[in-house]
Amino acid sequence: APLTSLTPLPRFPRDFLWGVSTSAQQIEGAVDEDGRGRSAWDAFADGPGRIKDGSDARVATDHYHRYREDVALLRGLGVGAYRFSVSWPRIVPDGRGAVNPAGLDFYDRLVDELLAAGVEPVPTLFHWDTPQALETGDIGGSIAGGGSVAGRGSVAGGGWLARETSEHFAAYADTVAARLGDRVDRWITLNEPAELTLLGYGLGQHAPGRRLVFDALPAAHHQLLGHGLAVQALRARGATNIGIANSHGPTWPASRTEADSAAAALYDVLLNRLFADPLLLGRYPDEELAALLPGPVADDLKIISQPLDWYGINYYQPTLVGAPDPAAAGPAEFGGISLPPELPFAPREIEDRPRTDFGWPVVPEALTELLLSFRERYGASLPPVLITENGCAYDGVEDPDRITFLDAHLRALHDALSAGVDVRGYFVWSLMDNFEWAEGYARRFGLVHIDYRTLTRTPKSSYHWLRDTLRDQARG
């Protein structure tokens, strides 16, 4: 019923970029093939109890072998662009040093296949699959067990806690640009450093499974530095169309009390401003937090804040945040993650909203709010924006709820355009169902359904809806 009652979407600009997104660890599989090194997610998934359905990403959607079929699906969908990620351990198996030519060959074939299909390749250089060889620290406490919280500044460990990882990342970026730069125009350095810092190093829900709480902050700084060094490497190879994909959402205070407002403001700093301010304004949003960061931070900020050609935003939902409730019984928990007691804020459930199968509230107008607040906060320092991810988890090949979700978010996006925010494109997460990190295969974000037994791809109703929508838009 909702299908036929939808009024046509408002018209987007002629040159608006329509795309879909995926990431290497979530779709490729073939983790031991053609010289690929191990990733932090391979190691993490091996541990007991870390992935909800007990799965791992060894096969995933087998995209590594089926990429031709997947590119045909992209062509059928009619998108202008495909955002995928390059697997760092496929290119540099140990994270540093020797390059694996067979890894580069795969992306070479993929890029050629995309270009032949008339789809622009938009690689992300890093989407959370750190080479495990760089994670020299222990892989940390289990989710249940928690982990030790080392004293400030005394955190040992590798991965993004180590400054050298930024340099290794830039060297890898250079290697990829040298091979693909003749055919790739648009580059994305990192995906969501905020989530990797929070979930991977802060709360231990994601690889590498460390639960360092605020001692995870160096991982944020080193990712930002790695971004800046990679931008330099890409520019040296002639790149003129570089962005980053950051996770952002409005933070709503649970009430107007001072305590709730302060808690929400801190959450906003950690999720949004800690990443956007250094990139766009060349400074950290909070002196106290900046003081916890290692290295010559002032010099690093010059590298981090080099001008970007565009700014990517992954939007899923707003967060309602209040002060922790001292009277609460038992440890705080949110979205299935047990929260360390020392956190000075507490996310709350947003009531009275439809929810996706993941339990996330559906709040399309918060996308408009987010874009307006970015324009307000960053003004002329905000380059053109691309929505590099937006999507939802629903089961089924018939997925009217996904259509309703995407339709509502596109209207909200159009409202931001009408209000003058310079948004140039929109990418749906995701082309196909895939390995949803700690949730395993239980959450399905795809426009294309994957049967994980046969690996058969079946376009869902949302795929057909998006195809028709893009045709309508092109007719304009």
Collect all residues with Cβ–Cβ distance below 8 Å to 112 and sequence separation of at least 6.
183
Pairwise CA distance, residues 188 & 82, whole Å = 12
CA-based end-to-end distance of the chain? 26
Torsion angle in degrees (nearest 10) through CA of 316, 320, 322, 325: -90
Regarding 305 and contact with ligand GBH (CB under 6 A), the answer is: no
Q: Closest approach of Cβ 348 to ligand GBH, in Å?
A: 10
The piece of 59-67, 148-156, 283-291, 315-323 that touches ligand GBH (CB under 6 A) is 315-323
Pairwise CA distance, residues 349 & 359, whole Å = 10
User: How far is Cα of residue 465 from the mean position of the Cα atoms in its chain?
Assistant: 24
Which residue of 252, 429, 441, 463 would you call a contact of ligand GBH, by CB under 6 A?
429
- Ranges within 132-191 binding ligand GBH (CB under 6 A): 191
Q: If phi over 0 gives left and psi between -120 and 50 gives alpha, with beta otherwise, what is residue 434?
A: beta
Q: Closest approach of Cβ 126 to ligand GBH, in Å?
A: 11
Q: Strand 311-314 relative to strand 333-334: parallel, antiparallel, unpaired?
A: unpaired
Catalytic residue list contains 192: yes
Length of the chain (residues): 476
Which residue of 135, 389, 399, 415 would you call a contact of ligand GBH, by CB under 6 A?
389
* 203 or 308: CB nearest ligand GBH: 203
Regarding 28 and contact with ligand GBH (CB under 6 A), the answer is: no
Regarding 315 and contact with ligand GBH (CB under 6 A), the answer is: no
Question: 101-116 and 164-180 are packed helices; what angle lies between their axes, rounded to 10 degrees?
Answer: 50
Measured from the Cβ of residue 298, the count of other Cβ atoms closer than 10 Å reads: 10
Which residue of 251, 317, 404, 469 would you call a contact of ligand GBH, by CB under 6 A?
317
Pairwise CA distance, residues 212 & 23, whole Å = 26
- Ranges within 347-366 binding ligand GBH (CB under 6 A): 347, 360
User: How far is Cα of residue 181 from the mean position of the Cα atoms in its chain?
Assistant: 23
Question: Which one of the listed residues 113, 120, 192, 436 is annotated catalytic?
Answer: 192
Which residue of 100, 247, 390, 462 would you call a contact of ligand GBH, by CB under 6 A?
247
Q: Looking at beta carbons, which residue is closest to ligand GBH? A: 335
* 155 or 322: CB nearest ligand GBH: 322
Question: Which one of the listed residues 389, 398, 436, 439 is annotated catalytic?
Answer: 389
Regarding 61 and contact with ligand GBH (CB under 6 A), the answer is: no
Coil vs helix vs strand at 140: coil
Regarding 378 and contact with ligand GBH (CB under 6 A), the answer is: no
What residues are paired with 389 via a beta bridge?
Answer: 314
Which residue of 13, 307, 335, 344 would you call a contact of ligand GBH, by CB under 6 A?
335
Regarding 129 and contact with ligand GBH (CB under 6 A), the answer is: no
* 303 or 431: CB nearest ligand GBH: 431
Q: Closest approach of Cβ 205 to ligand GBH, in Å?
A: 10
Collect all residues with Cβ–Cβ distance below 8 Å to 236 and sequence separation of at least 6.
174
Which strand ranges, in their side-by-side order, compose the sheet holding 251-253? 251-253, 319-322, 346-348
Pairwise CA distance, residues 297 & 251, whole Å = 27
Query: Site size for ligand GBH, by CB under 6 A?
Result: 16
Measured from the Cβ of residue 51, the count of other Cβ atoms closer than 10 Å reads: 22
DSSP tag of 181: T
Which residue of 28, 192, 277, 401 would you call a contact of ligand GBH, by CB under 6 A?
192
Pairwise CA distance, residues 357 & 343, whole Å = 27
Burial 347-369 (b: 16+ CB within 10 A, else e): bbebeeeeebbbebbbbbebbbb
Which residue of 113, 412, 436, 438 would you call a contact of ligand GBH, by CB under 6 A?
436
* 284 or 358: CB nearest ligand GBH: 358
* 114 or 196: CB nearest ligand GBH: 196
Catalytic residue list contains 436: no
Which residue of 100, 175, 305, 319 would you call a contact of ligand GBH, by CB under 6 A?
319
Regarding 87 and contact with ligand GBH (CB under 6 A), the answer is: no
Q: Closest approach of Cβ 362 to ligand GBH, in Å?
A: 10
Which residue of 169, 445, 463, 465 would you call a contact of ligand GBH, by CB under 6 A?
445
Regarding 433 and contact with ligand GBH (CB under 6 A), the answer is: no
Collect all residues with Cβ–Cβ distance below 8 Å to 274 and sequence separation of at least 6.
194, 220, 284, 285, 286, 289
Regarding 316 and contact with ligand GBH (CB under 6 A), the answer is: yes
Q: Is there a contact between 236 and 181 (Cβ–Cβ < 8 Å)? A: no
Contact positions vs ligand GBH (CB under 6 A)? 23, 191-192, 195, 247, 314, 316-317, 319, 335, 347, 360, 389, 429, 436, 445
- Cite the active site residues: 192, 389
